[in-house]
């Protein structure tokens, strides 16, 4: 389910670069793509939580909504043309998303690996800013 987190972080990096260039540089289109990618990821996670009857699902979903609010703020300041504000907003989004990944999503993975009866495929997926993320694929493998 987390196959797209790497793409999300790459988009964030591009938006950070565009905001540093002090010109639009297609930032609006990148923000639209980022927003859609994050929504798709969150919907996938929320489907996993529903199917697993995850006890911390409400807290996790609240965190998703906070991240969506940060995306709306980023889009608003970029639309106003304030590159310094956009640079700050995208940095805060990146930091919040890294925290979410390393705490909320890790907790979901721990729940999945301890509470599921079928195997779970776990792989380290990528590094961002020199930091390894315990980013994993939580798709259940077919039983052999």
Specify the CATH number for the domain of residue 116: 1.20.120
**Is 142 among the domain residues?**
no
**Is 141 among the domain residues?**
no
Kindly state the tokens that stand for 112: 């999945």
- Answer yes or no: are the C-beta atoms of 27 and 19 closer than 8 Å: yes
Q: Which domain holds residue 120?
A: 5-132
pLDDT, tens only, 76-119: 988 888 888 888 999 999 999 999 988 898 888 888 777 654 44
**Is 144 among the domain residues?**
no
**Is 111 among the domain residues?**
yes
When divided into structural domains, the chain yields a total of: 1
For the full predicted model, state whether its pTM sits above 0.95. no
pLDDT, tens only, 31-84: 999 999 999 989 988 988 888 888 899 999 999 999 999 999 999 988 888 888
**Is 75 among the domain residues?**
yes
Rounded distance, CA 113 to CA 140, Å? Answer: 10
Rounded distance, CA 58 to CA 62, Å? Answer: 6
**Is 139 among the domain residues?**
no
**Is 90 among the domain residues?**
yes
């Amino acid at each position: 389910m987390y196959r797209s987190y790497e793409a999300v972080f790459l988009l964030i990096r591009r938006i950070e670069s565009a905001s540093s260039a002090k010109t639009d540089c297609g930032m609006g289109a990148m923000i639209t793509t980022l927003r859609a990618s994050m929504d798709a990821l969150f919907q996938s996670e929320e489907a996993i939580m529903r199917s697993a009857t995850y006890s911390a699902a409400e807290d996790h979903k609240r965190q998703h909504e906070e991240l969506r609010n940060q995306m709306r703020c980023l889009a608003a300041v970029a639309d106003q043309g304030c590159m310094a504000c956009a640079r700050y907003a995208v940095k805060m989004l990146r930091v919040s998303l890294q925290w979410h990944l390393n705490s909320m999503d890790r907790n979901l993975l721990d729940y999945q690996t301890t509470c599921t009866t079928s195997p779970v495929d776990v792989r380290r997926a990528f590094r961002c800013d020199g930091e390894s993320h315990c980013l994993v694929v939580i798709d259940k493998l077919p039983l052999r």
